[in-house]
Homo-oligomer: A and B are copies of this chain.
């Protein structure tokens, strides 16, 4: 399999596509822009969902479900929101098909909707229209709700996981009595995303604020986490928006304060999507195939017996069974692969290609020696280990792999992040990829010019790091601090 994979150095984009398809993560469907998430891909996404969901609940959020369809007029209620989302969307105009003697099945013209319905591209409008009925008093606040859902944004150029017409995501929508509380929530959820990205995906991210031109349509402020892929391009991995009172105003959501006044409610929304699958792949995988951080691997440890006959297979199973039980007792997902329609060599290649973190091989000679062969996917190293305290050693190995993947990605990002001090230098450096820390005068005009001339965008104004003021690399005007420029997915 790995030999059919384009090398990253030859064509990174093709490597990515090859890998998504050949590792059975996803494929294009016959429906333009919509993907099929295959079982191996979905199993990874399920692990992401579970971890995030636990983190949302630990921070006091509950789940709910809102309609797939949004009346066209709702989208138009928040002026900048409609600009951002009404353009490319799926529009339902009819509610019935009928048989036609000539054309088979046709849309029934009698069944035209009075008002067209939009398949949700995001749910602020339908949710805030609902919140109007739920929020009467300060006692109803805060409202901390999340939704797991599919959304549709009609995209002409799609890439599996990274940009698809339909994708899966979670969208948090919270309502608060004060501006301060809403901003604190926005920041809290950004931090949840950072922890999730770093501790689960083993993907280092930078927390920051988007410039006005990159802000979510309808937000007062968009916070984000930005990651660097192996090709030096940036990927926005999650966003958390402070929406001010914009949606409360558009949908008339007022509450009675403790002082018995009527005030508009403050809002946030925040989301991550199946795009994280693309981020995961491009952060860790290599020319041998997928590399998965142990915490998200559907099978963390694969055990491949090398047996000539059923008797040997049974003996090998008995030999390793205590280790399997001990690993399972630690909550580690283990597969003893006794499928006799496939040869061991084929299985080794398969587990390697699909990113299984640890593979254990056992044969008759191992049984005699009290050993096993352990291969780790991240470094491709193999070593012979005693079977005696294997479960503990494997547990530590999984932790070491998780940590190593993070450290490797962090080192890569640090090596590809540098300060530049002139626009000439910038133009040269941006061709090499990576994050460029540069001074910017804070105007959308300069931002647009840089984008036009170099295809680089401001990924974020970092929340941390060097805050020394300076002069814009393009205009020489004052700059409050360096921001991060990069080309991005």
Contacts from A to B (Cβ < 8 Å): 27, 29-31, 34-39, 42-43, 45-46, 62-73, 75-76, 82, 86-98, 104-105, 107, 116-119, 126, 129-130, 133, 139, 145, 149-150, 152, 154, 166, 168, 341
Determine which residue in A31, A63, A107, A126 has the highest number of CB atoms from chain B within 10 A of its CB, and name it. A31
Is B95's CB under 8 angstroms from A92's CB?
Answer: no
Nearest residue, chain B, Cβ from A66: B36
User: Closest 5 A-B residue pairs measured CB to CB?
Assistant: A34-B67, A37-B65, A39-B62, A91-B94, A86-B97
A38 to B95, CA, bound (A): 26
Alpha-carbon gap, A278 to B119, bound state (A): 26
Q: Are B75 and A105 in contact (CB under 8 A)?
A: yes
Asked if A90 and B67 sit within 8 Å, CB to CB, the answer is no
A150 cross-chain contacts in B, Cβ below 8 A: 68, 149-150
Contact call B117/A68, Cβ cutoff below 8 A:
no
A21 to chain B, nearest CB (A): 11
* A154-B91 in contact (CB<8A): no
A353 to chain B, nearest CB (A): 17
Contact (A94, B96) CB under 8 Å given A30-B71, A36-B66, A68-B34: no
CA distance A88 to B111 in the complex (A): 9
B contact residues around A37 at 8 Å (CB): 64-65
Flag if A168 contacts B71 (CB, 8 Å).
no
Q: Are B65 and A46 in contact (CB under 8 A)?
A: no
Asked if B42 and A64 make an inter-chain contact with CB atoms under 8 angstroms apart, the answer reads yes
A39 to B72, CA, bound (A): 26
Note all chain B residues with C-beta closer than 8 A to A91: 92-97, 107
Counting chain B CB atoms within 10 Å of each CB, which of A76, A91, A93, A126 scores highest? A91
Q: Is the CB of A31 within 8 A of B70?
A: yes
Residues from chain B with Cβ under 8 Å of A130 in the complex: 27, 29, 36
Task: Assess whether A105 is in contact with B76, with CB atoms less than 8 Å apart.
Answer: yes
Set of chain B residues within 8 Å of A63, measured between Cβ atoms = 39, 42-43, 46
A42, A97, A145 — which one has the most chain B CB atoms within 10 A of its CB? Answer: A97
Contacts of A116 in B (CB 8 A): 107
| A46 nearest CB neighbor, chain B only | B63
Q: Which residues of B contact A66 (CB under 8 A)?
A: 29, 36
Kindly provide the distance from the CB of A256 to the nearest chain B CB, expressed in whole angstroms.
Answer: 14
Residues in B with CB closer than 8 Å to A39 are: 62-64, 145
In the complex, the chain B residue whose C-beta lies closest to that of A97 is: B86
Determine whether the beta carbon of B38 is less than 8 Å from that of A64.
yes
Q: List 17 A-B contacts (CB under 8 A).
A: A35-B67, A39-B64, A43-B63, A67-B166, A68-B119, A68-B150, A68-B152, A72-B105, A82-B105, A87-B98, A90-B95, A91-B93, A91-B95, A92-B92, A92-B93, A93-B107, A150-B150
Which chain B residues border A70 with CB–CB below 8 Å? 31
Q: Which of B62, B105, B145, B154 contacts A96 (CB 8 A)?
A: B154
Query: Besides A42-B62, A91-B94, A97-B118, 14 other CB < 8 A contacts?
Result: A30-B129, A37-B64, A38-B64, A39-B62, A42-B65, A65-B168, A68-B150, A68-B152, A76-B105, A82-B105, A90-B95, A92-B119, A93-B94, A149-B150
Q: What is the CA–CA distance of A154 and B68 in the complex, to the nearest angstrom?
A: 13
| Closest residue of B by beta carbon distance from A152 | B68
Kindly report which residue of chain B lies nearest to residue A105, judged by CB atoms. Answer: B76
A157 → chain B closest CB, angstroms: 14
Given contacts A39-B145, A64-B38, contact A90 B69 (CB under 8 A): yes
Please report the C-alpha to C-alpha distance between residue A31 and residue B95 in the assembled complex, in whole angstroms.
13
Residues of B within 8 Å of A107, CB to CB, are 72, 91, 93, 116
Q: How far apart are the CA atoms of A38 and B63 in the complex, in Å?
A: 8
Per the bound structure, the CA–CA distance linking A63 and B298 in Å amounts to 12
**Cα-based distance from A305 to B484 in the complex (angstroms):** 53
- Name the CB-closest residue of B to A134: B38
Considering the complex, give the chain B residue whose CB is closest to the CB of A116.
B107
Q: Would you give the shortest CB distance from A167 to chain B, in whole angstroms? A: 10
CA distance A63 to B44 in the complex (A): 11
B105, A69: Cβ atoms under 8 Å? no
